[in-house]
Amino acid sequence: MDNVSVVTVFTLSGLSGIANYRVILFVLTLLCYCVIWLVNLTIIVTVILDKSLHEPMYIFLCNLCFNGLYGTAAFYPKFLYDLLSTTHVISYAGCLLQGFVLHSSVSADCSLLALMAYDRYVAICRPLVYHSLMTTQRVCIFVCFAWLTPFSLILMSTITTATSRLCGSHIQRIYCINWLIANLACSASVAKIVIPAFNYTFYFGHAVFIFWSYVHLIKTCQSSKENWNKFMQTCVPHLFSLAVVVVSFLFDMLYMRFGSKEIPQSFENFMAMEILFIPPIINPLIYGFKLTQIRNRLKKKKLPELGLSIP
């Protein structure tokens, strides 16, 4: 009990030893954040302004891009500030808020990707009932579910983490997440054991559902050249986005729990950051280049501004 104290500020140790590279890292990080805003905002604005893109798949894509902006907003501004600061600290409330936003963003990614898999399954495997199943009202309900469920689950985890007594204030990372805060607890708690286990099980169910959807999609598409072309056009970007999110998340989670302390700090920082810059940049780029309607819309918007005609 002697080590128990009221924690008001956490120390982030991930940026120790970067004094000589501070300015370079700041410029590169700022550039990366600007690119994230540019590519995601381009897709969002394109989908909103073009009424022909007001379809379930593009609505889900628009939400996926918005989620990319939402999640990265919890990290980049604070990280940019820390790069120019000599002290790397974050308030207790700020740490909990950052952890909540980052966790809920990754969870919302999983929910939205599951919705996109369901949309493709219905569109290709059950095309005759697609419009009756994917109505505007039902799409709105699905989108609300994809946002509210992660928010509720992560909020419950954050609240239980906030009620834990802490015996430390040192976080060996460049940002806060609930698991690291829970590790500072003086004793095992519900936040560290039961709730994370339930959350992981819940989103493992998402992965099983996506896998089941694509098994049926591939079986259906093999029997028809038209369906196979549709699969290659609309499902390959989704599969690539799914692979990017899953691989990034697994790398980060496995390293955070089983990583060696002998690994250089710079590599640790890369492992911590990759889920915050690879999916938010790759997802809109892949969809923008691969999906014909979005690509054509972007060409029509850009080429006339350059005084060019579209062949």
Say what the pLDDT of residue 214 is: 82
Say what the pLDDT of residue 239 is: 77
Say what the pLDDT of residue 260 is: 58
d(CA 276, CA 273): 5
Q: Are 245 and 279 contacting, i.e. CB atoms less than 8 angstroms apart?
A: yes
DSSP string, 111-163: HHHHHHHHHHHHHHHSGGGHHHHS-HHHHHHHHHHHHHHHHHHHHHHHHHHHT
Specify the higher pLDDT residue, 65 or 86: 65
Task: State pTM to two decimals.
Answer: 0.85
Mean pLDDT, the chain, as a whole number? 82
Say what the pLDDT of residue 73 is: 95
Say what the pLDDT of residue 102 is: 93
Say what the pLDDT of residue 310 is: 36
For the chain, domains (ranges, CATH) are 9-294 (1.20.1070.10)
Query: Quick check: 52 pLDDT over 50?
Result: yes
Average pLDDT of span 123-142: 89
Spatial CA neighbour of 71 closest among 177, 143, 142: 177
